[in-house]
Every structure is written in C-alpha cells, then in structure tokens.
Amino acid sequence: MNILHIDSAITADASVSRDLTAQIVAKLKSTHPDATVTYRDLNTGVPTIDTAWFQAIRQTPETPSDAQKQIIATSDAYIQDIRDADVLVIGLPVYNFTVTAQLKNWLDQIARAGVTFRYTAEGPEGLMTGKRAIIAYAAAGTPFGSDLDFASDYLQHMLGFIGITDVTFVAADRLAFDRDAGLARARAALDAIAA
C-alpha cells in the first residue's frame, strides 16, 4: 500500500486535522506495516496558478523556458504523488467556511485536462481512478455537511472530478462549542474506518 499524506493546517502542533491525519495513517500502517508514506505539508507553500502557469501548462510551449520547466515539474510532482498512491489521507481544516488557500492551490495544480481528467462527449472523466481518499475534517464552528460547510462537498467534488470517488470523512466539527464531543465524533468515525 502506498499512502499520500497531506496536511495544510497553519496551526502547527495545535492542529486537530494534523493530529487526525496522523492517526489515520497510523491505523492504515497498523494493518499494512510495509506501507510507504509520502508526506506533503502544503503549509510550506504551494504555488498559485497564474498567467505564467497557464502559459507553461495549458499552452504547452514546444520549447519551454527554464522557468516554465520548473512550473511544469512542480505540477507534475504533485500529480505523480497521486498516481503512486493507493490511499490519500488529506487534512481538511476549515477556515472561513472552506478549504485552506494552500489546499486550493494544490487542487488547482493537480486538475489538469488530459492528465488527471479528460473531456468526453458525455462530459468530464476523471483519470486517477482506483484510489481511496480519507479526509480529516476539522472545524471550530462549521458543522460538517451543513449549509455553511463549503469545504467538504468541494473537496469531494474535486477528488471525484479527477476520478477518486471512494471518499470517507473523519470529522471533528463544532470544536469551539463542545471540543470533547467534536473529537469523540471524529474518534468514532476513525474507529469505523476499515484499514
């Protein structure tokens, strides 16, 4: 088993999502001791897509400049992480009702037509199939799955868009109101996951 472990919280050791992703990875490794883990801490920085990215990635120059080669290599590396993974474990801290900027940047880097999805006569088709994702959702005030939660549906949609439809959530929500109850809900969801 190859595990891609992704964190994006800005709160360092105080992060609930980081703690949950670590617990999820530990549970997977307890039943798959030979599993490999690739770790990406998106909080260290993920380049935003911009005009230079568009020109390097979408316009596919025949002879890319050194700067364009670096842009392409960065995006390709994120995509290769996913290709190599059987399971993605993604920390989803909710800031201002949605995904972190870093996680959004990562999603923008990996959503590439002809690489991770393609357009067909029936609509878009994800190309990163046969993988599983376990999402560690953590929110101080946003109830998981509520009308205020613009994070979980979005992340699940984007994963499905590139072909990852087996998605499970471990949610610790409403932590600012009743931290113990929120963590208990997450523990119960974690215990229910088949490793």
Q: Please report, in range form, the residues annotated as the binding site for FMN.
A: 15-17
Counting beta carbons within 10 angstroms of the beta carbon of residue 85, is it exposed (0 to 12), middle (13 to 18) or buried (19 or more)?
buried
CB atoms within 10 A of CB 86: 15
Annotated binding site: 15-17
Write b or e for each residue in 167-189: b if 16 or more Cβ atoms lie within 10 A of its Cβ, otherwise e: bebbbbbbbeeeeeebbebbeeb
Contact 25, 37 (CB under 8 A): yes
Q: How far apart are CA 98 and CA 104, in angstroms?
A: 9
- Helices and strands per DSSP (H, E), number in the chain: 6, 7
Beta-sheet strands, E only, within 8-131: 36-41, 87-93, 117-120, 123-126
